[in-house]
Amino acid sequence: MTTNNSVKKFGFADKFGYMFGDFGNDCTFILSSSILMKFYSDVMGVSVGLIGLMMMVARIVDAFTDVAMGQIADRSRPRAKGKFLPWIRRMCGPVAVASFLMYASWFKDMPMTFKIFWMFFTYLLWGSVFYTSINIPYGSMASAVSGDPKDRASLSNWRTIGATLAGTVIGVILPLIVYYTDENGNSVLSGTKVTVMALVLSILAVICYMLCYTLTTERVKVEQKTEKFNFIELVSSLVRNRALVGIVVASICMLLVQLTSQTMNTYVYPNYFGNTQAQSVAGIVGMIVTFVCAAFTVKLSQKFGRKELAVFGSVFGAVIFFIMFILHTDNAWLFVGMYSLSYIGLAIFSLICWAMITDVIDDTEVQTGERSDGTIYSVYSFARKLGQAASSGVSGALLSMIGYTIDTAYNPDVVNGIYNITCLVPAIGFLLLALVLIFLYPLSKKRVENNAKVLAEKAN
């Protein structure tokens, strides 16, 4: 890995462009994690347990497609725009179309067998094939944009800002548009409006991807891997990589918090509180919290270390969610206020996690002498999808256990169960995240700085 000094220096255009990449990613990803389960349960009439099972099955498929795409990315021949950027342009159209097709409300009167088939087919096509083929190169690209750990921390910050913007668009605007009030005064999801919003977000995703492709520059030359692929050797080396195992498990815990919150918010606000306006405000508050944290996170991570800062954030988030569970408030605005405090913990980890994976890539090169950005990032991406599966599976299973169906959606026992799930699962996820970072993830501030010095000397 060498730096190309003939291209322009790292600057605002790179950060802005990289931000748009995750904005594009999350136009479809956050839509799926926040509304897909409710769309298929409330509009299409599919069992929440079956929806959760589908999402878990898809993650098993991802075990193969993510690693395969990581190998493809590592073995790609660098072109004029670099090694990873060309994949953004190639795959932005297919991932957007596949996302739109998942929300085919025009099939709601079809036989249940067909609706289940369509749900599985489009979800696998979107997540396991097309999303993978654009997300793996996009994430791997961070190492090629700059070799400086400070620049990478900045990219991680801007990536999270992009995700936050997408989350705000979806979290704030979506509840105000896709719900209507029925004759009983209940907030009910409109399938047709969800489909229209999915189309709008798919178009927005393509625009964001092309801005990422245009504004971002790969200035670190990552050589093409040509050696013969040995799957057993790859798995063996990855399992022995403690830093990678640590960030993998930590990411699963983090996504258990993040995605369970997103999924359950689509149930707790309309069903328990009967207040979708509060759901929109929660989305705005989440954006504000993330932007405030973004202003300080890079400097704090430089002073205290990324691992150390993430531990603080996860413990703080766990405490707030446990307090929310104990209070069991029926005041939607108090809930929003407590949720905004818990979001500080999530925002801190989200802002630095992408820099942490580049730390893992650097540590692996120092330990083994080989650099495999695409392969390592693909394993990390798969871990994130495991977190998504865990969230979907847990949410679906627990909603089934409390008896949630279209007919029982507003039953007092069911809505109280929804509240408990919304608080307890993220609280446990935060607690597990803190324990993993403390006892499993080894990349302290001192070790990260030492790795950067070793690689700088190697490059010179």
State how far the Cα of 352 lies from the Cα of 448, in Å rounded to an integer: 13
Stated pTM of the model: 0.67
Structure confidence at residue 38 (pLDDT): 86
> Which among 216, 196, 217, 198 has a CA at the least distance from the CA of 208?
216
| DSSP summary character for residue 228 | P
Indicate whether 234 belongs to any domain: no
Give the C-alpha separation, 429 to 341, whole Å.
16
Tell me the per-residue pLDDT of 412-430, one tens digit each, with 9 for 90 and over. Answer: 899 999 999 999 999 999 9
- The Cα–Cα gap between 129 and 127 comes to 6
Share of the chain above pLDDT 70, in %: 92
Residue 459 lies in a domain: no
Better-scored residue on pLDDT, 269 or 384: 269
pLDDT at residue 79 above 90? no
Judge whether 171 and 279 are in contact, CB under 8 Å. Answer: yes
pLDDT at residue 233 in the model? 60
pLDDT of the residue at 285: 82
Q: What is the mean pLDDT of residues 102-127?
A: 92
Q: Quick check: is 227 in a domain?
A: no
Please give the Cα distance from 283 to 202 (Å, whole number).
20
Angle at 280 between CA 274 and CA 283, to 5 degrees: 130
Task: Kindly report, residue by residue over 357-379, the tens digit of the pLDDT.
Answer: 888 888 888 887 777 666 777 77
What pLDDT, in 10s, does the model give residues 206-258? 999 999 999 988 877 766 555 565 556 656 666 778 888 888 888 888 888 88
What sections of 182-305 are H helices per DSSP? Answer: 191-215, 231-239, 242-267, 276-304
pLDDT per residue over 46-72, tens digit each? 888 888 888 878 877 876 787 788 778
Q: In this structure, is residue 89 part of a structural domain? A: yes
Report residue 321 as tokens. Answer: 């969610």
Look at residue 192 and tell me whether its pLDDT is greater than 60. Answer: yes
Rounded mean pLDDT of the chain?
Answer: 84
Is residue 374 in some structural domain?
yes
Does residue 322 fall inside a structural domain?
yes
Note whether residue 97 is domain-resident. Answer: yes
In this structure, what DSSP letter does residue 224 have? P
Mean pLDDT of 446-459: 81
- Structural domain span for residue 438: 12-220+240-454
CATH number of the domain that residue 68 is part of: 1.20.1250.20
pLDDT digits (tens, 9 = 90+) for 22-43: 999 989 988 888 888 889 988 8
**Scanning the structure block, which residue is given the tokens 């999402």?**
55
Model confidence band, residue 391 (pLDDT cutoffs 50, 70, 90): confident
Asked, for residue 6, whether it belongs to a domain, the answer is no
Could you read off the pLDDT of 298-357 as tens digits, one per residue? 788 888 888 999 999 999 999 999 999 999 999 999 999 999 899 898 888 888 887 888
What tokens appear for 330 in the block?
A: 């029926």
Q: Give CA–CA dist 105/108, Å, rounded.
A: 5
| CA 359 from centre of chain | 19
Number of domains in the chain: 1
Q: Is the dihedral of CA 247, 248, 251, 252 positive or negative?
A: negative
Task: Give start and end residues of each alpha helix (H) in 9-131.
Answer: 12-38, 48-74, 85-101, 112-123
| Cβ–Cβ under 8 Å, residues 175 and 276 | yes
